Structure 1
Amino acid sequence: MAMQRIPLKYCILLFGILFASCEKGLEDINVNPNETEVINPEFLLSSVLINTAYGYQKEAYFDKPASAGRYITMVRNEGNDKFDWGPQSWDDYYSWLSANREMMDLAVKLNTPQYVAVGKILESFTFGYTTDLFGDIPYSEALLLKKQTLTHPKYDPQQSVYTALLQTLKDANNDLSTLTAKVDAKADVMYAGDPLKWRKFANSLRLRMLLRISKNYTPAFTEMQEILNDKVKYPIFEGNADNAEIVYQGAVSANSWPGSPQGSSVDEFDKRKPSKEIVDALLQRNDPRLQVWVAPVDSLNGWKTDPNAYVGVPNAIPAPYDYNGGKTHISRLSKLFSSSSAPMLKASMLTYAEVCFILAESVQAGKVTVAGKTAESLYYDGILANMKFYGVDKTATDAHYFDQPLVKYNGTLEQLIGQKWIAGFLKGAEAWFDSRRTGFPKFVLGPMSSTSVLPKRYIYPTRERDTNEDQYQKALTVFGADKQTTLMWYLK
């Protein structure tokens, strides 16, 4: 497999151009590829950051993670829901990584180390996501096509990848704590050049990754505790303002929410319905987020199975478009998700709410301590943070949401992960990753599912067998069979 490097002087990714034009004005964009081959790292940062966040978010709504996390049911083209996935491409992930590495290399050449530090965080995010999807992946040799003409990179064991990424994030935090120069505020469309927020992202991402591998990585909780013991040296997310997420401009398709008619099409929006599992979970808890995320059915007359005003569609059933009497008796996603842009629509990579649940789980298991906090308080912090994001925290409190038996903290992992799942609605692949790691939520596989268990991973791209056969075969001797059910290192 050849990891292709993007010819940046010809095709800087479109999203960055579009976003930058909205943020800075056309008069501020003075890069003419016909006159110069020099591209400033700040321009590349905008491009890389937007494409990474937008791409990750699009998969969380549009692709397999949405089905595996039981947020979306496809009522047309139901292959995702049936888990008959077959080989998956990783070209997008390595494209983001290649552009990011180009930015870092240029920053080294121009002696702007602040862009290298930020690039380390984005590289760790994307490599982490890629290994979470596939298992063992090309890592140490993956981006060496240009420098060393290396076209057949080896696969690194997931344990080695994770160990390297954790160190990279730690280095990035340390670098940003001492550098005086900042990244350009206008180019940094997420944090406006604030190095403290980037450090919080790096350390919070470390917490996510450490919990994920804690079953088979002995130092996991020791390293988590090191972070938690020194918030000056290792700052972490402290509120929604720290969330690693980017707004959608909504000016054109490329910078619009992917579920909107402008971002895709009306047809694509109508193919995706809220799943029965998420809708039922919200109904059972009288959760005010239901009205924010889900639209009521068009008609309460003539239903076949479910008389509720809000009806989700089960995954992997015959003729899902006819469920409960057809489209007038099943819910769509709310108008929020048909918008091109909105304050509550963001390309989200990591949130404060998720960090609260990560810490709640770790404290509940007796593995770490958090000053001034308990597992119970962290659990409630996570719920409230997500509700505040959607503007329903006061509604929930007034309705005594937290006093309900299903919501009131009971110290079980099932309850905690269940609330984390709800709070993660359409915000990434975390629900799928948590379910395969913990067994919760206990998702129900539909009768049309091609498998009896939730997929554990993606199958490697077909092109690997065509262009990187030797390294692919060597990898399988270590990793195991190239199947959806094969367990990656941290799940064994």
Structure 2
Amino acid sequence: MPRIPLKYMLLPLGMALSACDKGLEEINRNPNASESVSPEFLLSSVLINTAYDYQREAYWEEPASAGRYITLVRNEDNDKFDWGPRGWDSYYARLSANREMMEIAGTMNQPEYIAVGKVLEAFNFAYITDLYGDIPYSEALLSKNEGIVHPRYDRQQDIYPALLNTLKEANNELSLLSRTVDATADPMYKGDALKWRKLANSLRLRMLLRISKNYAPAFSVMQEILNEPLKYPVFENNEDNAEIGYPGDIGVNSWPGGPLANAFAEFDKRKPSKEIVDALAERDDPRMEVWIAPVDDPNGGRMYMDDYVGVPNAIPAPYDYNGGSPHISRLSPMFNSNSHPMLKASLMTYTELCFILAEAVQAGRVTVAGKTAESLYYEAIRSSMRYYNVEGVADIRDYYNLPGVQYDGTREQLITQKWIALFLKGPEGWFDHRRTGFPQFTLGPLAASAVIPKRFIFPDTERAYNEKQYQQALVQFGEDRAGTLMWYLK
């Protein structure tokens, strides 16, 4: 189903709900227009916008640089980490449309859309608080029904338990439903309630690990989920991945690096980082050939004669590194495609779940029936190789017995392999780095700070239109700086 911009998605509903003079209403009535918006229409629009925008940021914006997957060689402000205020209107627009869907579904007695809407609500709110810290939550979507136009900021330590409960409710409700959402309205799971339940519970595991440092019940709740797989199903293979493909027919439905979405010049600004290229090269990793293109010119005139060369962070004239463009790797041609089987907008993957469980088991905090931290670690890597069709190549190269790959029980090794496997899939590389300190990155001489930013700075519009609540939020949160630690990182 094509992506429908939110500004158009919300317009028909506002028109349908607005009161107007009867005469004008009759004169201006379009006999071919819908009188209302159905939950099916809103679900597909919210889901596609959520997935596509989440993936675009992970490939195109700050998370790609902060995760040290991408180095910009032109307009490299993101890489220098001198980040200014960052708007959040698009996130809240999706949440508003999703809430509208749930309210309409309630009036139409379609609880299946409410349950799926809860999963999407939790995902989007979690992403916002992961980016900013304390955010408007409990009052954020009440302007229409309750007239609250200056929402207060909730503390992250209050938001996260509420979102975890929302996901738990969604799983329970989906398990009891006699019908599912329309398959044609669900481009991700085609109305499969079990897969939505798996996503809800896998997201709970992601979120619980993320806050485990400062949330005492985190591992006990994780264990509860793992002890009852029928009640709380989770991802079991790559077929459960929460992701949506790109038709590639028009720009908004195309991979953001493709020619329909952006010019080649924009694609060519984004070079693979030295960190990811070196990590792949050191391990003779077969995903290198899938993700990274060899340099154009294999001959002289450069410092490094390697076939694959990534660009370091925040250096002067990065476009001239190693002798210039002919001697710097691009991303592989598939990343300049409008559509490709391996390019999907991913919300969460089975690979990520395996690494989450491996970390928790390795730390001795949970157990997984029939699994060890080592077996989960290897399954995580294998599922990534399988996804990119290089599992056989990895076996031929004896990849799993190579130094640095063979399991050694350290958190650094596990998180580094997770970082590699989640290349350009969501912001998890950045989020894990700020949570664990791994992999250890070296920032360049032009970086604005000695460390990678920990968060986005609140939008300028909050100072202009929600000043009182913004200032009150800073009293409990701290300075509105990129380096301020949010609750679960302290």
1:379 and 2:380 matched: no
Q: 1:94 to 1:398 in 2, by over 3 A?
A: same
3-state secondary structure, aligned to 1:10:
helix
CA distance in 1, matches of 2:338, 2:8: 30
User: Which of 274, 277, 293 is the equivalent residue of 2:275?
Assistant: 277
- Which residue is 2:45 aligned to? 47
- Which residue is 1:407 aligned to? 405
CA distance in 2, matches of 1:315, 1:97: 35
- Which residue is 2:450 aligned to? 452
3-state secondary structure, aligned to 2:249:
coil
* Residue identity opposite 2:257 in structure 1: G
- Which residue is 1:162 aligned to? 160
- Which residue is 2:319 aligned to? 321
- Which residue is 1:131 aligned to? 129
Q: CA deviation at 1:40?
A: 1.1
1:10 and 2:8 matched: no
- Which residue is 1:356 aligned to? 354
Deviations 1:97-135 (A, max 9, x none): 111111111111111000000000011001000000000
- Which residue is 1:248 aligned to? 246
CA distance in 1, matches of 2:163, 2:35: 31
* Residue identity opposite 1:371 in structure 2: A
Is the Cα contact below 8 Å between 1:363 and 1:374 reproduced in 2?
Answer: yes
* Residue identity opposite 1:401 in structure 2: Y
Is the Cα contact below 8 Å between 1:6 and 1:99 reproduced in 2?
Answer: no
Tell me the C-alpha RMSD between the 2 structures: 1.2
- Which residue is 1:18 aligned to? none
User: Which of 110, 113, 121 is the equivalent residue of 1:112?
Assistant: 110
Q: CA deviation at 1:37?
A: 2.7
Q: CA deviation at 1:43?
A: 1.1
3-state secondary structure, aligned to 2:36:
coil
Is the Cα contact below 8 Å between 2:271 and 2:311 reproduced in 1?
Answer: yes
1:83 and 2:97 matched: no
- Which residue is 2:191 aligned to? 193
- Percent identity, aligned pairs only, is 66
Q: CA deviation at 1:377?
A: 0.3
| Unaligned 5+ runs, structure 1 | 13-31
CA distance in 2, matches of 1:238, 1:388: 14
The equivalences for 1:175-190 within 5 A come to: 175-190=173-188
3-state secondary structure, aligned to 1:459:
coil
Is the Cα contact below 8 Å between 1:383 and 1:419 reproduced in 2?
Answer: yes
CA distance in 2, matches of 1:306, 1:90: 41
Higher mean alpha-carbon deviation, 92-101 vs 133-142, is at 92-101
CA distance in 1, matches of 2:153, 2:357: 32
Q: 1:311 to 1:11 in 2, by over 3 A?
A: farther
3-state secondary structure, aligned to 1:206:
helix
Deviations 1:380-427 (A, max 9, x none): 010000110000001001110001011000000000000000010000
CA distance in 2, matches of 1:439, 1:279: 19
* Residue identity opposite 1:145 in structure 2: S
3-state secondary structure, aligned to 2:346:
strand
Deviations 1:207-262 (A, max 9, x none): 00000000000000000000000100000000000000000000000000001111
3-state secondary structure, aligned to 1:273:
strand
Is the Cα contact below 8 Å between 1:349 and 1:428 reproduced in 2?
Answer: yes
Is the Cα contact below 8 Å between 1:244 and 1:350 reproduced in 2?
Answer: yes
CA distance in 2, matches of 1:424, 1:9: 33
Is the Cα contact below 8 Å between 1:9 and 1:33 reproduced in 2?
Answer: no
Deviations 1:412-448 (A, max 9, x none): 0000000000010000110111001001011111111
3-state secondary structure, aligned to 1:73:
strand
* Residue identity opposite 1:491 in structure 2: L
| Unaligned 5+ runs, structure 2 | 1-5, 14-29
CA distance in 2, matches of 1:11, 1:334: 41
- Which residue is 1:481 aligned to? 479
Is the Cα contact below 8 Å between 2:9 and 2:45 reproduced in 1?
Answer: no
Q: 1:132 to 1:86 in 2, by over 3 A?
A: same
Q: CA deviation at 1:300?
A: 1.7
Q: CA deviation at 1:7?
A: 7.4
Is the Cα contact below 8 Å between 2:64 and 2:70 reproduced in 1?
Answer: yes
3-state secondary structure, aligned to 2:183:
coil
- Which residue is 1:389 aligned to? 387
Is the Cα contact below 8 Å between 2:12 and 2:37 reproduced in 1?
Answer: no
- Which residue is 2:335 aligned to? 337
CA distance in 2, matches of 1:165, 1:50: 21
1:310 and 2:311 matched: no
Q: CA deviation at 1:8?
A: 4.3
3-state secondary structure, aligned to 1:348:
strand
Please give the TM-score of this superposition, normalised by the length of structure 2.
0.94
Is the Cα contact below 8 Å between 2:247 and 2:339 reproduced in 1?
Answer: yes
Is the Cα contact below 8 Å between 1:6 and 1:98 reproduced in 2?
Answer: no
Is the Cα contact below 8 Å between 2:10 and 2:97 reproduced in 1?
Answer: no
* Residue identity opposite 2:246 in structure 1: Y
Deviations 1:47-79 (A, max 9, x none): 000000000000000000000000100000000
| Structure 1 runs, 4 residues or longer, greater than 6 Å off | none
CA distance in 2, matches of 1:190, 1:282: 30
CA distance in 2, matches of 1:295, 1:67: 19
Q: 1:243 to 1:488 in 2, by over 3 A?
A: same
CA distance in 1, matches of 2:31, 2:482: 44
Q: CA deviation at 1:36?
A: 2.8
Q: 1:286 to 1:44 in 2, by over 3 A?
A: same
3-state secondary structure, aligned to 2:230:
coil
CA distance in 2, matches of 1:411, 1:49: 38
Q: CA deviation at 1:96?
A: 1.1
- Which residue is 2:143 aligned to? 145
The equivalences for 1:430-441 within 5 A come to: 430-441=428-439
CA distance in 2, matches of 1:48, 1:70: 29
User: Which of 404, 426, 429 is the equivalent residue of 2:427?
Assistant: 429
CA distance in 2, matches of 1:33, 1:247: 35
